[in-house]
């Protein structure tokens, strides 16, 4: 039977920080087999940060598991910092870390925004990739951002009412700018209240069935601040040019083995985007989980991702 559960908890065998400019210092860690096949885990958001659970998608006897918290996220500092924070710089950071760790090529694994960054990195440095495992596809296009800001209320009207209700009625025509004003307020209480409202909204819409644990974690101060500020910043300022760049540049990576895992009832990153990616990249192995939403921790998504990492053991 194919494995469907996460691997047991594991501690890093090495961790450190990487100063990438005069503002940002990034947290990174390695776990598993130091002589194993390198795999890079890219967290979502942008701004969500990685957790110890994320190491558990990979067999620690086979993989050299590399985790990094991106600029402004998780254990990287300063938390929520938007200066010098662009997709191009995140891609460059990954190359800096790869060279620092003396890794020739690695498998790239990312979900949600992590799928976006995985594609951007792979298309920039295809020669450094063994393959890709992608979940909950997000391509950073205006329609996807508008869906998040306004149209998720189609299925989660209560969560959206709380999200929009944090903003006065006369500002709700542009929720992104209204939130941005509050997320960048000089008043820390205003910033945190807006960050919690944004992050809890996303967490409330991220699972097929209600998850009090996920919603509670979404409201935690550090997670909420990093997620909300960096997401709003990227939604405002870091679109791709042209907008469909990640689809246009697939020719650079179509030779690489890839698996796409998508929840049928993913509301945060709807299945239509994964379908577009698969139609443009038919060589990729496409797995729709019929009873799952967005979260990587839903049972069906979790099982599909573990099975993908097991199948990728054939690539070195």
Q: How confident is the model at residue 315 (pLDDT cuts 50, 70, 90)?
A: confident
- Residues 109 and 258 occupy one common structural domain: yes
Alpha carbon separation from 160 to 182, 256, 272, 281 (Å, rounded)? 18, 39, 21, 33
3-state SS, residue 294: coil
Range of the structural domain that residue 186 is part of: 143-237
- Residues 127 and 244 occupy one common structural domain: yes
Residue 1: the pLDDT is 75
- Residues 209 and 81 occupy one common structural domain: no
Residue 2: the pLDDT is 78
6 is a domain residue: no
The arithmetic mean of pLDDT across residues 270-291, rounded, is 98
Residue 166: the pLDDT is 98
- Residues 120 and 56 occupy one common structural domain: yes
279 is a domain residue: yes
Query: Where are the strands (E) in the chain, listed by range?
Result: 14-19, 25-32, 37-42, 63-68, 106-111, 129-135, 258-263, 285-289
The arithmetic mean of pLDDT across residues 271-275, rounded, is 98
- Residues 124 and 245 occupy one common structural domain: yes
127 is a domain residue: yes
From the candidates 59, 69, 93, 266, which is the catalytic residue?
266
From the candidates 125, 223, 233, 294, which is the catalytic residue?
294
Report whether pLDDT(238) > 90: no
- Residues 134 and 119 occupy one common structural domain: yes
- Residues 187 and 305 occupy one common structural domain: no
- Residues 259 and 124 occupy one common structural domain: yes
Residue 3: the pLDDT is 84
Residue 316: the pLDDT is 74
- Tally of domains in the chain: 2
Structural tokens at position 21: 């400019």
- Residues 27 and 134 occupy one common structural domain: yes
Q: Are 41 and 54 in contact (CB under 8 A)?
A: yes
- Residues 48 and 31 occupy one common structural domain: yes
More confidently predicted of 311 and 4: 311
- Residues 156 and 135 occupy one common structural domain: no
131 is a domain residue: yes
Residue 214: the pLDDT is 93
301 is a domain residue: yes
251 is a domain residue: yes
Q: Are 276 and 247 in contact (CB under 8 A)?
A: yes
Which of these three, 216, 237, 258, is where a domain ends? 237
Residue 283: the pLDDT is 97
Which of these three, 237, 256, 280, is where a domain ends? 237
Which of these three, 186, 209, 237, is where a domain ends? 237
Q: What is the pLDDT of residues 37-81, one digit of tens each?
A: 999 999 999 999 999 999 999 999 999 999 999 999 999 999 999
From the candidates 76, 112, 199, 206, which is the catalytic residue?
112
Residue 26: the pLDDT is 98
Q: What is the pLDDT of residues 89-116, one digit of tens each?
A: 999 999 999 999 999 999 999 999 999 9
Report whether pLDDT(243) > 90: yes
* Rounded distance between C-alpha atoms, residue 84 and residue 107, angstroms: 27
Residue 285: Cβ-neighbour burial (10 angstroms; 0-12, 13-18, 19+): middle
* Rounded distance between C-alpha atoms, residue 167 and residue 164, angstroms: 6
Q: What is the pLDDT of residues 11-49, one digit of tens each?
A: 999 999 999 999 999 999 999 999 999 999 999 999 999
Residue 195: the pLDDT is 98
2 is a domain residue: no
- What is the share, in percent, of the chain residues with pLDDT greater than 70? 100
- Residues 266 and 118 occupy one common structural domain: yes
1 is a domain residue: no
* Rounded distance between C-alpha atoms, residue 14 and residue 33, angstroms: 11
CATH number at residue 31: 3.40.50.1820
112 is catalytic: yes
């Amino acid at each position: 039977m194919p494995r469907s559960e996460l691997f047991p908890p594991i501690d890093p065998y090495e961790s450190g920080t990487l100063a990438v400019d005069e503002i940002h210092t990034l947290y990174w860690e390695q776990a598993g087999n130091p002589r194993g096949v390198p795999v890079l885990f890219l967290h979502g958001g942008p701004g969500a940060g990685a957790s110890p659970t994320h190491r558990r998608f990979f067999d620690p006897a086979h993989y050299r598991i590399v985790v990094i918290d991106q600029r402004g996220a998780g254990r990287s500092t300063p938390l929520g910092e938007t200066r010098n924070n662009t997709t191009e710089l995140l891609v460059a950071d990954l190359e800096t870390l790869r060279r620092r760790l003396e890794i020739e090529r690695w498998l790239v694994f990312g979900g949600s925004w992590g799928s976006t960054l995985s594609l951007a990195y792979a298309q920039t440095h295809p020669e450094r990739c063994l393959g890709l495992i992608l979940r909950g596809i997000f391509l950073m296009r205006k329609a996807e951002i508008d869906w998040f800001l306004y149209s998720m209320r189609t299925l989660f009207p209560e969560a959206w009412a709380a999200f929009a209700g944090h903003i006065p009625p006369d500002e709700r025509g542009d929720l992104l700018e209204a939130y941005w004003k509050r997320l960048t307020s000089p008043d820390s209480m205003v910033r945190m209240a807006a960050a919690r409202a944004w992050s809890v909204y996303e967490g409330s819409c991220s699972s097929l069935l209600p998850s009090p644990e996920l919603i509670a974690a979404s409201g935690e101060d550090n997670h909420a601040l990093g997620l909300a500020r960096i997401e709003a910043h990227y939604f405002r300022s870091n679109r791709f040019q042209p907008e469909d760049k990640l689809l246009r540049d697939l020719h650079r990576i179509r030779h690489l083995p890839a698996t796409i895992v998508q929840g049928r009832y993913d509301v945060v990153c709807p299945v239509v985007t994964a379908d577009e990616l698969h139609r443009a990249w038919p060589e990729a192995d496409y797995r729709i989980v019929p009873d799952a939403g967005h979260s990587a921790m839903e049972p069906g998504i979790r099982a599909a991702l573990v099975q993908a990492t097991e199948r990728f053991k054939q690539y070195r």
